[in-house]
Structures are given as C-alpha cells and as structure tokens.
Amino acid sequence: MPIRDAAATSPWSNVVKTALYSAIVPTLLTIGIPAAVLRLEHGAVAMPPDEWRWIALILIIPGAFLYAWCAWSFVRFGHGTPNPADPPCALVARGPYRFVRNPMYVSVLAVILGEAVLFPSAWLWRYAVGSMVFVQILVLAWEERSMRRRFGADYDRYCGSVPRWFPRPSSAKTSETGH
C-alpha cells in the first residue's frame, strides 16, 4: 500500500533530501536546542567527572550512528526519507527496524540524554524528559495510527513481532521474515 510511486523518486533524490532533512531537524533537536538551553542558563556549565563523560559518549556516539543507519534504511528499503512530509513508500522492517519500531526516536533521545549527562544542567534534563514524553505521545497518538492506515495488516504483523522501544532477543529473528 505505498502512498506514492517509488519509481517516481530517484534513490539519489532521496539521499539528498534525507541529508538535508537530517542536517536540519535532528541537528536542531540534538545540538541547537541543547546549546540554546545551556547558553540561557546563568553561569558556566560544569563538566562532569571522567566516568560520567564516558557514559555520555556511550549514549551520544551510538545514538548518532543509529540515526544514520535509520535514515539510510528509509532511503534504501523504504524508498523515502525521514521527513514526515516525504515518508517511505514501503514499510521499513529491516536494518535497525528489525529490533524496535522506533529506532530513529531512540537514537535522537540517546543523544539528548548523553548531552544531559555530559553537561549537567537541570534544564537539559527537563528537555530530555520532556522529549521522551512528547515522543511517546506522538507515537501513540499519531504515528502508529498513520502507519496502520498506510500499511494495514503488514504493519499489524510488524507490531506483533517487533517491540516499540526496547529490543528483545527474538525481535531480530522474527522480523527477518520480512514482517
């Protein structure tokens, strides 16, 4: 049940549109807003002890790579982009989408949480928690209904075999069947 003809959009066009979208939206969410929050806080932001920096990097670096993998999966397997105005034509159940249904949100939230650990700031923690709540509401109220309308029974099967947020050992095996 594609919403547009995949052949009508070239793969390179999707790569360019994905790069442009990714340079704006996730960058704003993970760099722009946190930088503004830190700049608005009075006083210098203290750096955490070294062990906390490692925890931050363990969240930030894989989060950034996970986002790139998600975006590439949208282009490669979905013949679309991460932009909600230009979504994939096909249900993407490969790549990181084998493990959880919302890895792109997980990736962005991991980076934001990593920044909250790296730059101890009450406002940055509020932004991280608020982002998590917003994403949960967005996914439940809009995205899952939209996906169900677009992909029907295929999406229902996918939801039955792949968890929303946290991977389980069986989700990759189940989803390799194409659902």
- Predicted confidence at residue 44, as pLDDT, reads 63
- How many Å apart are CA 128 and CA 114, to the nearest integer? 9
Res. 76 pLDDT band, cuts 50 70 90: very high
Check residue 2 and give its pLDDT. Answer: 45
Q: How far from 173 is each of 69, 71, 93, 99, CA to CA, in Å?
A: 19, 22, 12, 9
Based on its alpha-carbon atoms, the radius of gyration of the chain, rounded to whole angstroms, reads 17
- Rounded Cα gap, residues 91 and 88, in angstroms: 7
- pLDDT at 140 > cutoff 50: yes
User: Which domains, and CATH codes, for the chain?
Assistant: 9-175 (1.20.120.1630)
- For 50, the token pair is 């070294």
Residue 7 pLDDT exceeds 70: no
Per-residue pLDDT of 23-73, as tens digits, reads: 999 999 999 999 888 888 866 666 777 888 999 999 999 999 999 999 999
What is the average pLDDT across 147-176?
85
Q: How far apart are CA 162 and CA 179, in angstroms?
A: 9
Q: What is the pLDDT of residue 172?
A: 52
Average pLDDT estimate for 4-21: 79
Q: What percent of the chain has pLDDT over 70?
A: 87
CA distance 35 to 69: 25
